[in-house]
């Protein structure tokens, strides 16, 4: 059948079972949008307030569903506005296909209006990217983009299409019947047996898992391994929800703002089994001292992660689900009573905030505990980046994977609202709670109009301390209270801003008032913003200073005389 390039784009998206696209139209991509106007393929398009919001929405959609997120943008500033969103997805291994349009082939290289070399710009932050010069190559290129985005370690792929290619026509041939899936590389059974023997022989084992477990869909296998051999487990921020927060073997998050007990367990372990995690500097805060008593086994789909940051004793490169399926039959049922008793003693000394303080102030843990309780286990919690992100990771009480969405690797302020839109579009019947700070919300509150326009009942909780909280915390602890450019002196009334956008706005100044306003927001069925004033000197504790070990962690905010 003869089709234009624009029609081919939509046909291939339908082949790939894409039903949702986020984006923003413009001159060079108008042919695609014109084809979208009368498409009969069931593809929904959501226009955001800004292309960066569209990229984060595609990312949030992918994180929440496990599907590939898709974003459209026009040339020049449209495509460059995607860059931060693409980099965010790249750092966290999120499958995404970005389709950008460019100036016609004849104008490329002439500095024409809104021309930019987007494939060169995004080369370091994509798994791969393409420029399609001929319409005959378009269908197979987009198919290849989806294949790359989802194969191996997932990630973003960009396809740039000159405008004349979207207008040109050629014979479109539907994708051939899928061939038999390529047989995965065999996992050496001798290595599997050796790793299983190490697990069976260990007296002080610890499992450390990350986002790769969620990407693989291997959460039930991690649960089975931990419980079969009674192995305590801890996780990166990206692994939140793999094990329920109340699982007795779950020691919680580890690292700079993780539980002290988890860090001590890793340091005291004789075997550390690392599954789908990459030893970032926020976890291995001092690499030379990390798990130095343990034999370390790393399971990861990306060979480049092996021995990158930490020396590994044993490694298995492959999909963590397939590896665990091979290992589990060889694992003996075992208890480690002495080791568990030691861990329980460490956990008894962890930093645990009170259920509610008696000082009359509204504290972050009051807010997060209330969100977790009132929104329920099925809620999807999305954060921006900073202190509120760490407080949420510590207290959000997630019991299932893909229910806590955050920018872990790039640490993108402004990620949260777009990602919340993507999650709410994916799951219209689930509650999506966006937790943010006043600094971050100023970066993405323009996307309130997206929720209002599409009747998406995203609830935003703003922890407003009037400062850039995490930066100020570092300035307090390590820069002698020299608060350079972190006190914002802004007069924004976020509740009034919400009302101006057509959403509902609330203020809360006490824990009781927050619970009341949050309950109202849950029952409203509308986009809501709840502004919560918290103290500018609230700190995220515990905290391991960069380059230090868990033994040097702050357990509470030091008083001035200690600085």
Active site residues: 51, 113-114, 163, 470
Residue 300, strand partner residues: 317
Please answer whether residues 231 and 294 qualify as being in contact, where contact means their C-beta atoms are separated by less than 8 angstroms.
no
Please answer whether residues 408 and 385 qualify as being in contact, where contact means their C-beta atoms are separated by less than 8 angstroms.
no
Phi-psi region of 42 (alpha: psi -120 to 50; beta: other; left: phi over 0): left
Please answer whether residues 437 and 465 qualify as being in contact, where contact means their C-beta atoms are separated by less than 8 angstroms.
yes
Query: What are the angstrom distances between the C-alpha of 503 and each of 440, 446, 458, 494?
Result: 19, 12, 10, 11
Cβ neighbors of 189 (< 8 A, separation 6 or more) are: 326
Long-range contacts from 228-231, C-beta under 8 angstroms, 24+ separation: 228/328, 228/331, 228/333, 229/199, 229/200, 229/205, 229/331, 229/332, 229/333, 229/334, 230/334, 230/335, 230/336, 230/340, 231/199, 231/205, 231/206, 231/207, 231/273, 231/336
What is the chain's percent helix, strand, coil content, to nearest 5? 40, 15, 40
Residue 186 DSSP symbol: P
* Phi and psi torsions of 162, nearest 5°: -60, 150
Q: How far apart are CA 214 and CA 212, in angstroms?
A: 5
HEC assignment per residue over 322-338: HHHHHHHHHCCCCCCHH
Please answer whether residues 494 and 531 qualify as being in contact, where contact means their C-beta atoms are separated by less than 8 angstroms.
yes
C-alpha 357 chain-centroid distance: 31
Q: How far apart are CA 388 and CA 298, in angstroms?
A: 31
Sign of CA pseudo-dihedral 458, 65, 94, 140: negative
Please answer whether residues 28 and 101 qualify as being in contact, where contact means their C-beta atoms are separated by less than 8 angstroms.
yes
Sign of CA pseudo-dihedral 246, 249, 250, 254: positive
Residue 120, strand partner residues: none
C-alpha closest to that of 492 among 479, 480, 507: 507
Query: What are the angstrom distances between the C-alpha of 324 and each of 143, 320, 520, 530?
Result: 30, 6, 44, 43
């Amino acid at each position: 059948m003869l089709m234009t390039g624009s029609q081919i784009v939509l046909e291939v998206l339908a082949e790939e079972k894409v039903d949702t696209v986020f984006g923003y139209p413009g001159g060079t991509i108008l042919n695609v949008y014109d084809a979208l106007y009368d498409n009969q393929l069931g593809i929904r398009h959501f226009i955001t307030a800004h292309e960066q919001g569209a990229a984060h929405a595609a990312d949030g959609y992918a994180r929440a569903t496990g599907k590939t997120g898709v974003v459209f943008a026009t040339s020049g500033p449209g495509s460059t506005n995607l860059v931060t969103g693409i980099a965010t997805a790249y750092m966290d291994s999120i499958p995404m296909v970005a389709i950008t349009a460019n100036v016609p082939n004849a104008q490329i290289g002439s500095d024409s209006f809104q021309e930019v070399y987007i494939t060169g710009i995004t080369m370091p932050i994509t798994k791969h990217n393409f420029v399609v010069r001929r319409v005959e190559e378009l269908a197979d290129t987009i198919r290849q983009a989806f294949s790359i985005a989802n194969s191996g370690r997932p990630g973003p792929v960009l396809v740039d299409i000159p405008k004349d290619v979207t207008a040109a026509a050629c014979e479109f041939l539907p994708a051939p019947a899928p061939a038999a899936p390529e047989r995965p590389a065999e996992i050496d059974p001798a290595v599997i047996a050796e790793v299983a023997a190490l697990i069976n022989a260990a007296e002080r084992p610890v499992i450390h898992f990350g986002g790769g477990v969620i990407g693989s869909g291997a959460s039930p296998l991690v649960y089975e391994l931990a419980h079969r051999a009674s192995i305590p487990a801890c996780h990166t921020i990206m692994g939140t929800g793999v094990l329920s927060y109340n699982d007795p073997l779950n020691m919680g998050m580890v690292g700079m703002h993780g539980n002290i007990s988890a860090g001590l367990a890793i340091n005291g372990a004789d075997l550390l089994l690392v599954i789908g995690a990459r030893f970032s500097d926020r976890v291995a805060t001092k690499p030379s001292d990390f798990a130095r008593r343990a034999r370390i086994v790393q399971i990861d789909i990306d060979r480049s992660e092996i021995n990158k940051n930490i020396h590994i004793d044993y490694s298995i490169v492959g999909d963590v689900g397939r590896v665990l399926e091979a290992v589990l039959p060889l694992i003996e049922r075992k208890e480690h009573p002495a080791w568990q008793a030691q861990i329980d003693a460490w956990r008894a000394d962890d930093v645990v905030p009170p259920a509610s303080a008696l000082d009359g102030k509204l504290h972050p843990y009051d807010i997060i505990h209330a969100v977790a309780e009132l929104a329920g286990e099925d809620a999807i919690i999305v954060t921006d980046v900073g202190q509120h992100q760490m407080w949420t990771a510590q207290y959000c009480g997630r019991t299932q994977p893909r229910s806590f969405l955050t920018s872990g690797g790039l640490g993108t302020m402004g990620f949260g609202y777009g990602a919340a839109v993507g999650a709410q579009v994916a799951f219209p019947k689930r509650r999506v709670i966006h937790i943010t700070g006043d600094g971050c919300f100023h970066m993405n509150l323009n996307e309130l109009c997206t929720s209002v326009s599409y009747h998406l009942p995203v609830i935003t909780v703003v922890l407003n301390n009037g400062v850039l909280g995490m930066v100020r915390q570092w300035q307090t602890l390590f820069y002698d209270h020299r608060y350079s450019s972190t006190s914002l002196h802004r007069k924004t009334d976020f509740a009034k801003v919400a009302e101006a956008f057509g959403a509902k706005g609330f203020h809360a100044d006490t824990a009781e008032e927050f619970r009341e306003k949050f309950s109202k927001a849950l029952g409203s069925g509308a986009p809501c913003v709840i502004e919560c004033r918290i103290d500018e000197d609230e700190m995220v504790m515990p905290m391991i200073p960069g380059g230090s070990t868990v033994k040097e962690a702050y357990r509470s905010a030091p008083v001035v005389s200690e600085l």
